[in-house]
Amino acid sequence: MRAASSTRVTGAGNGLEMTTRQLPLRLPHRPQMTRADFLVGTANAAALALIEAWPAWPASTVVLTGPGGAGKSHLVEIWRARSGASIIAAGDLGERPLDELLGASAVAVENIHVRTYPEAALFHLLNLAKERGTTLLLTTRVAVSDLNIGLPDLASRLKSAQPVALGAPDDTLLRTVLVKLFADRQLSVEPELVEYILKRTERSLEAANALVDSLDREALAAGAPISRRLIAAALADLGTGQSRGEEDGENPGENSPLG
C-alpha cells in the first residue's frame, strides 16, 4: 500500500463537513544499476564504451565528468561489477586505509569536485595505484581544469589522466529515461504527456529525475493520475518549464483530454 486516507471534520453552520486527503506513504525507490538498466544515447555512449573496454584502457586513471544525475554513479556500478573495484567517496578518503582500498585490482573515487576531501590522500592513492598497477576511475561534476585544487602535484596528475565526459541528453535519450523513471515507480503516463514534458523541461537527466519524483509525490497525495495540470505545476515548483496556467496557447486545465 502506498497511501492512506486522513479524514478531517469541521463545523459548517449546524452541520458537519468532512474532507478526505490522501496521505502519501513513501516507499523507498531504489534505481536499478545493472548494465541492462543503463540507457544509451549519444550523450553517454563514449563513456560506456570506455567503461566496457576495461581493462584495456588507454591510461591507468580515467576521470569521468558529467552533471548531477547524468549517470556517473550508474557507470561506476557497472564498472564495479566488471572489475571488482572498491568504491569510495572523495570525502571519505581520509577515513579508510589506502592499502585496504588497493586490495582490489581497481578503485573508484566518486565526487572529486567536492572541496572538503583530503587532497594529499588522493595524491597518495594515485601514486600507490601507479606503483601497484591498479586502475582508477574518478568522477566529478566539473572538468578537471575547473577543479579548485590546492596541491599542484595532484592537479598535474589529474590533468594527465584519461578524460571522458557525459553530455546533455538528446530528445531520444531523455524520452527513454522519462518512460523508465515512470515505470520504475509504477506510474502510468500517456505518451502524449511524455512529449508534453519534453517540450518544456530542462534538458538534463537530473531535472528528469527531480520532475518524476515530484510527480510521484503529488499524484500520490492527490490520489489522481498524472495530468497536464499536475505536470505544469511540478515544472513551475521546480523552477523549470513554463509557468502554470496557459502555455503556448494551450489550457492545461481539467477539460483537456490529457488532464
3-state DSSP assignment of residue 10 = strand
What integer pLDDT is reported at residue 108 of this predicted model? Answer: 98
CA distance linking residue 100 with residue 166, whole number of Å = 30
Three-state secondary-structure class, residue 99: helix
Structure confidence by residue, pLDDT tens digits, 9-23: 444 444 444 444 444
Please tell me which residue, 32 or 23, carries the higher pLDDT value: 32
Alpha carbon of residue 164 to chain centroid: 18
Q: So what's the pLDDT on residue 18? A: 42
87 strand-pairing partners:
108
b/e sequence 216-252, b meaning 16+ C-beta within 10 Å: bebbbeeeeebbbbbbbbbbeeeebbeeeeebeeeeb
Q: Is the pLDDT of residue 89 over 70?
A: yes
Distance CA 113, CA 147 (A): 6
Burial of residue 200 (CB within 10 Å: 0-12, 13-18, 19+) is: middle
Task: Write down the pLDDT at residue 168.
Answer: 85
- How does pLDDT run across 117-176, given as a tens digit for each residue? 999 999 999 999 999 999 999 999 999 999 999 999 999 999 999 999 998 888 999 999
Q: Write down all domains in the chain, each with its CATH number in brackets.
A: 35-165 (3.40.50.300), 168-259 (1.10.8.60)
**The three grid cell numbers given for residue 237, joined into one nine-digit string:** 515548483
What pLDDT is recorded for position 69?
80
| pLDDT band at residue 61 using 50, 70 and 90 as cut-offs | very high
Q: Is residue 73 within 8 Å of residue 33, measured between CB atoms?
A: yes
How far apart are the C-alpha atoms of 71 and 33, rounded to whole Å? 10
pLDDT at 195: 96
241 pLDDT band, cuts 50/70/90, is low
